[in-house]
A = this chain, B = another copy of it.
Amino acid sequence: MTTEVSNGVNVQALLEAREVLKGAPEAAQFTWRASSKWQSGVHSTTTIQNFFGLGQEQSHKKEAVLDADHPEVFAAEDNDITPIEYLLVGLASCLTAGVASVAQNRGIQLRSVEATLEGHHDIRGILGVDSDVRNGFTDVKVTFNIDADASEQDIEALVGQSQKRSAVFGALTNPTDITVEVA
């Protein structure tokens, strides 16, 4: 039993949601939304608060306001991190949330979970130097450091299961269909 384990994840609610959504696929259709506004140069501000899910409009408790810019080596003002670094934030946090959820479900008490990420990027693609170079990451490496009441093997399995169910890992490792329009 997992009663003594507390990683702060309400796994029971998630397992119940899984059962409910088996018979109600329409409730599982979420829409995440963002609005962005150009500031100047390559600096923009994106806000996020509302989304749709479980058949109705939903809202985060507070609005998130996130700036992105480019560093001085790109001849920009470095008001904040770059757009591509936001992908690393999403990846790190999604895999970490997965590790906590799976650990809770498997009765493994976590003490600490840290991850370091490296995204390799050949900027000749985005600068148009060589059209054979991809615009996105060449590859991304994620390294977890986990302290938990579990064997090395169980920790490896936790991380493996987290990847298997990660929204962001899935979105990045598979082609995502994106349509861009002008209103």
Is the beta-carbon distance between A140 and B170 smaller than 8 angstroms?
Answer: no
Task: Give per-residue flags for A22-50: 1 if the beta carbon is below 8 A from chain B beta carbons, else 0.
Answer: 10010011111111111011111010100
A:73-99 near B, CB below 8 Å: 73-76, 78, 80-97, 99
Distance in angstroms between the alpha carbons of A74 and B16 in the assembled complex: 11
Tell which of B51, B66, B143 touches A181, judged by Cβ atoms closer than 8 Å: B143
Task: Give per-residue flags for A156-183: 1 if the beta carbon is below 8 A from chain B beta carbons, else 0.
Answer: 1001000101111111111111111111
- In the bound complex, residues from chain B placing their C-beta under 8 Å from that of A86 are 86-87, 89-90, 93, 168
Is the beta-carbon distance between B37 and A135 smaller than 8 angstroms?
Answer: no
Distance in angstroms between the alpha carbons of A82 and B174 in the assembled complex: 19
Q: Is A114 in the interface zone, CB < 8 Å from B?
A: yes
Tell which of B93, B97, B165, B175 touches A135, judged by Cβ atoms closer than 8 Å: B165
Q: Is A108 in the interface zone, CB < 8 Å from B?
A: no
Tell which of B70, B73, B163 touches A54, judged by Cβ atoms closer than 8 Å: B73
Tell which of B114, B137, B170 touches A171, judged by Cβ atoms closer than 8 Å: B137
Is the beta-carbon distance between A117 and B183 smaller than 8 angstroms?
Answer: no
Total residues of chain A contacting the partner, CB 8 A: 124
Is the beta-carbon distance between A31 and B119 smaller than 8 angstroms?
Answer: yes
Q: Is A120 in the interface zone, CB < 8 Å from B?
A: yes
Distance in Å: Cβ of A57 to nearest Cβ of chain B: 11
Distance in angstroms between the alpha carbons of A22 and B112 in the assembled complex: 44
Is the beta-carbon distance between A136 and B168 smaller than 8 angstroms?
Answer: yes
Q: Please, could you name 23 A-B residue pairs with CB atoms under 8 Å apart, sorted by A?
A: A17-B75, A17-B127, A25-B130, A35-B115, A35-B116, A42-B100, A42-B101, A43-B97, A46-B93, A48-B89, A84-B90, A84-B94, A85-B90, A90-B90, A135-B165, A136-B169, A136-B172, A137-B176, A144-B182, A155-B182, A159-B180, A172-B176, A174-B175
